Structure 1
Amino acid sequence: MRLSRSAKVLLGIVTTLVFLFIYTPLLLVVVNSFNADRTFGWPPRGLTLEWWGRALDSAGVREALVSSLWVAAASTVISLVLGTLLALALLRYKFFGRDVISLLVILPIALPGIVTGIALNNMFTTILGVSLSLWTVVIAHATFCMVTVFNNVIARLRRMSGGLEEASADLGAGVFTTFRLVTFPQLRSALLAGGLLAFALSFDEIIVTTFTIGAGDTTLPIWILQNLFRPNQAPVVNVVAVVLIVVSIVPIWLAQRLSEDSVGIGATRVKATKG
């Protein structure tokens, strides 16, 4: 479809305005993390690294950062295992209720976070009688993080030919040997992309975390919420928010690059086969 010059100009203006609306507040957070004015006057009277130093010296920030990294890493590992197994089962095998299970797997990421949080809180405290802790946060995050792994793996499996797996089975290889030598090498980039997205999703999650975390525990988003309206902590909150932005953006950018590379490799293989 060819657009007229006026349509291209209008589309460019609208796109620019949308991006400015989305990213200007983020840029303001970054600038304020260096703003020498504690009240965040604009334009900044000067720039300083004092708030970054205070953030590094804050035991609460360090503890929250370590907790967030641990929760994100643990939930990502669980998501990788469950998401991969579910994708293989739903795509490689036919059984009664397969479509229903597929819907149930994807549903957690579509539900409002507050609904998921309340439901999991009731399950942990009322039904199971488990005390809330970082482990309950890990389990809660895994319920929706595994959807990103599931979607990446099942998309890759649909582009893969089952001929190599069948040939491996015909040559006498078992299920695990076939997966290790044939299936897994073709899934590695999809698993890495799904794992990065799951890590980013878990690292900055706050709603479900609020309902499933223990009283003495904290994560980086929870720390920000608790200190957001404290005047003495406001500059440090901006620094922590910048760290949260960076740690969230990097995995998403890497996952996007991996997805683009895998699509390019797939297209090259198709062209080579046709040629």
Structure 2
Amino acid sequence: MHLGRTARITLRIGAGLGFAVIYVPLLLVLVNSLNPDRSASWPPPGLTLHWWSVAAHNSGARAALWVSVKAGLGATAIALVLGTLIAFAVARHRFFGRDTVSFVVVLPIALPGIVTGIALNSAFGTVLAPLGVGLGLFTVIVGHATFCIVVVFNNVVARLRRTASSYEEAAMDLGATTFRAFADVTFPLVRSALLAGGLLAFALSFDEIVVTTFTAGPGIETLPIWIFGNMTRPQQAPVVNVVAAVLVLLSVVPIYVAQRLSADTATSSRV
């Protein structure tokens, strides 16, 4: 498709404005985390790492970070197992309602977070409360897993659809058992897709706040909830900026690695 000079310039300006809307606020958070002024005046009178030191010794932020890590790891583990199993069922087998299963798996990430949160809160209260299980870290992990499964499923099913099942059939024709064929043939082919899906799932869980609000019990505070709760406290504003900057950096790394893995997977499948 050939574009004229005016169209190319218009597209570049539009893309530049779009990127500016997305990334300039993130850069401002990073700059404010280095601002020596507690009130975050602009432009900053200088740069300092003092607030980074204060944030590192903040017990509330460290506890919230650890809760987020545990919730992210738990949700990612569940998503890897269930998302992979569903992906293999959909991609490798034909059965009645296969398209419906795919739709149901993908639906949670398309629903508004507040709808998912209210539904999970009601379900936990109805099912778990009579059993003596209240809201806590377990319910947060289950809540996050509902949408983390989607990214694992999408990555794995896309990789399986680009990979012929003849590889596994050939291995079994040579005497390999089903599990042996999976370990020696199938798993190496989908390994990068699994890793990319796991990294994206962890990043989604780590940043989640709406579903967490409805599924976390008393005393359970993830890092996004800690940031939201301390935003209105003037004395905590510099520390919040630091924690927000750290949260951005921690989210960018897995997403970048997952994107590279997905690109490498797509390239290798075309070779």
From 203, 218, 237, give the equivalent of 1:200. 203
1:138 is aligned with what amino acid? I
- Stretches of structure 1 that go unaligned for 5 or more consecutive residues are 269-275
2:175 counterpart (159, 172, 177): 172
Distance 1:185 1:11 in 2: 40
CA distance in structure 2 between the partners assigned to 1:7 and 1:161 by the alignment: 41
C-alpha displacement at 1:66, in angstroms? Answer: 0.8
Partner of 1:253: 256
1:213 aligns with 2:216: yes
Partner AA of 1:33 in structure 2: S
- TM-score normalised to the size of structure 2? 0.97
Task: Deviation per CA, 1:9-48: give whole Å up to 9, x if none.
Answer: 1211111111111111111100000001111111101111
Query: Displacement, 1:138?
Result: 0.5
Q: Which residue matches 1:273?
A: none
User: Counterpart in 2 of 1:57?
Assistant: 57
What is the alpha-carbon distance in structure 2 between the residues aligned to residue 101 and residue 4 of structure 1?
A: 45
Residues 1-275 of structure 1 mapped to structure 2, 5 A cutoff: 1-129=1-129, 130-268=133-271
The answer on whether the counterparts of 2:128 and 2:134 sit within 8 Å (CA) in structure 1 is: no
1:213-246 Cα distance to aligned partner (Å, 9 max, x none): 1111111001001101000101100000001101
Q: One-letter code of the match for 1:41?
A: S
Q: Distance in 2 between matches of 1:96 and 1:261?
A: 34
Q: Scaled by the length of structure 1, what TM-score is found?
A: 0.95
Tell me by how many angstroms 1:208 deviates. Answer: 0.2
The whole-number CA distance in structure 1 between the counterparts of 2:10 and 2:171 is 55
Q: Report Cα offsets for 1:169-192 as digits up to 9, x if no partner.
A: 222322211111111010000000
| Structure 1 residue 126: Cα displacement | 2.1
How many residues are matched? Answer: 268
Instruction: Give, in whole Å, the separation in 2 of the partners of 1:174 and 1:108.
Output: 35
SS of equivalent residue, structure 2 residue 96? coil
Which secondary structure state, in structure 1, belongs to the residue aligned with residue 260 of structure 2? helix
Task: Give 5+ residue unaligned stretches, structure 2.
Answer: none
